[in-house]
Structure 1
């Protein structure tokens, strides 16, 4: 009787390269681990026979924590209840396979609101990806996979995901991906058979060939727009703090932004001094212009017929935001005083931007500068950008003034 012998050879044919000691997350989700054994034997015929047995294990998805960037806090001038500040976020997948990341935002704190602030989402990923927005929640589908041996700087070798189509583990052409800790690059081609090895071609070559076990993670984007609500007290900022989290089934990534809506609040104070005979008792304040400093008062000034009076109109913005369209209208008591022509050299009014440190002189003539005198009515457009027809802007914590002279009628 011929000697019966059997040689058992085990061949482990993997569609991925599994390293001893590596965690499961170092293998891409949906990869098929094929374990095949072959039995060789002699059945007495003198011819070596063989028979195979195999099992296939599909690697499970292991969720990971996504990466959420942190945009800088925002600040704009308050305009109305819907004044927006937009924050541009990027979110990068975690884990070893495609996943849906739920984004939640909530207002953690707000101040100086007569009515609540609000917010909204807009989101985008690569072609064919799914974005769902519902109120304060958005969800984004992002792809992810892990390299196997044989990858080059431009073409990544990754496990097929079990479905022959134009995407491997959710990664498609024109998606933006991170390979390991590198910089983001665009996907230009995907080859995805139903089994074995798939390839991902990159627009920008990596610096070195990646080893097996390097993550390939898709990056998506979304914007969070925070709206101010109605301001409660002008001159005081609205400040809104918004918390945002992004999570699949693992721990969330989180970020907090602060939206500040600056508000301006203008005040007007009228001062006077007696140029001919200095006096006054109330609200003393000194002002310097035309290289001289004088005492002005808000009250308690007396004058005799023929005396010259100098009026000063001070516009102040104690708020943090600018005020716009600033114009001063002053009605002269022409029954008692007469406007002084050529009070300051060949001009009649002095305009001073206190904060900017600039000084100018205007005439009373209509259409040649921002000042006009029409009978008893004096109009001066003040602030940055003022024109002959429109008022200008006074920044937060800034001030401007105009000065003009009259004589008391005899």
Structure 2
């Protein structure tokens, strides 16, 4: 991609101004030299002459701008970026510098969405000045530049993509060479046979030919608000040039990141510690809890456990992030509704006379005191609903719920007596 340092080629065009065959904003290329020569004949064969040269100015015209969008699966803050491509095609009669400025105009289910990229590019352009062929066009030679083979012509150089439309057919060939003709002060711009245009679309004079370039952007999703819901961002680009008309902003359809909710395993079990009974469902064991209570290897059940007044019932709650998704579980807390109409408050059954047994994400066991909200990692207020709340996971503390990483889990246990 060439930048704003392109120089304009220059030569004098010793011919009248080109007449328009197909007009597109301007019918003569910028930087063309219009030379008008007058001759005085006298004394039977002597002559005197004088000429003036008029340079054709650039006629500002809005470029044609398009921008792509994309899809991806959200993997985390600003990950992955989606590549958006801005395609700019000149519709002017000469080269100009265009500045591409992107911005995010809307975002859903996201905070901090952004877009990076944007730059200044120089797009060449010209107007045809004669009849070409299926693999070439003829254009005026600009004032003041070189005339060697493959010289740049009004900002159009070898390997540039040019765009022109004839008979409602749009062509986008890649320039392979340029050739100067001193007799007509024109250049012929060539492209490969593989990109030959239809014989009926050979260009005559007066057709606008503009360079096309692309600018790459990266749309970033920011941080998703709700996992499991798609996230979208809308990117706009403003393409401007000095002294050109305003109104070149183009907005693409929204980029979209799909979000798969985390795969969570969450299960509550119970057992009668005083009089072991078989419940319903598959027997479940948690040796870390069993070893702490001294009750032996007694299974837990998801239902069917019975007890009499005075019996001790132990509840175990297990939560895990299976790793089937790409996301950690954040702000994790286990809330429990202890049915105090029928059972006592949690009893201090564990080491240190504490009512809550806790297994963290690394499998490390501990016991937690429970009291006022905000005083400990576990709180128990009988009149609240829920009345038992335990902040769990990495960095969990008395005031902050923690994080359960992918592939990790936590466990809490507590005991009550049937009234």
State the TM-score, normalizing by the size of structure 1.
Answer: 0.56
What residue number does 1:63 align with? 60
After TM superposition, the structure 1 stretch with the greater mean CA deviation from structure 2, 58-67 or 186-195, is 186-195
Distance 1:113 1:325 in 2: 15
1:194-253, Cα deviation, whole Å (9 max, x unpaired): 982111111122213211111221111121101122333333333222211223223415
Higher strand share: 1
Aligned: 1:150 with 2:150:
no
> How many equivalent pairs are there?
271
State the Cα distance separating 1:53 from its structure 2 match. Answer: 2.3
Question: What SS is found at the alignment partner of 1:52?
Answer: strand
Q: How does 1:68-147 map to 2 (within 5 A)?
A: 68-114=65-111, 116-121=112-117, 137-147=118-128
Q: What's the counterpart of residue 229 of structure 2?
A: 236
Q: Is the 8 A contact 2:94 2:125 kept in 1?
A: yes
Return the match for 1:323 from 315, 322, 325. 325
Report the Cα distance in structure 2 between the residues aligned to 1:54 and 1:37, rounded to whole angstroms: 6
Question: Counterpart in 2 of 1:50?
Answer: 47
1:250 aligns with 2:245: yes
CA-atom RMSD in angstroms: 4.0
* Residues 1:164 and 2:155 aligned together: no
> After the TM superposition, which segments of 4 or more aligned residues of structure 1 sit over 4 Å from their partners?
20-24, 192-195, 276-279, 313-317
String of CA shifts for 1:131-151, please: whole Å, max 9, x gaps: xxxxxx411111111111232
Residue aligned with 2:131, SS: coil
How far apart are residue 69 of structure 1 and its match? 2.4
Separation in 1, partners of 2:181, 2:100: 32
Structure 2: gaps spanning 5 or more residues: 1-12, 270-277, 282-300, 308-317, 329-405, 408-419
1:157, distance to aligned residue in structure 2 (A): 1.0
Structure 1 residue 170, shift from structure 2 partner: 0.6
Deviation at 1:61, TM superposition (A): 0.5
Structure 2 vs 1, CA of residues 277 and 78 (structure 1 numbering), >3 Å: closer, same or farther?
A: closer
Of 199, 216, 241 in structure 1, the residue corresponding to residue 188 of structure 2 is 199
5+ residue gaps, structure 1: 1-11, 122-136, 280-297, 305-312, 327-390, 393-410
Pair 1:32 & 2:29 matched: no
Q: 1:94 to 1:20 in 2, by over 3 A?
A: closer
Task: Give, in angstroms, the shift of residue 104 of structure 1.
Answer: 1.0
Q: CA deviation at 1:60?
A: 0.6
Question: Counterparts in 2 of 1:331-350, with a 5 A limit?
Answer: none
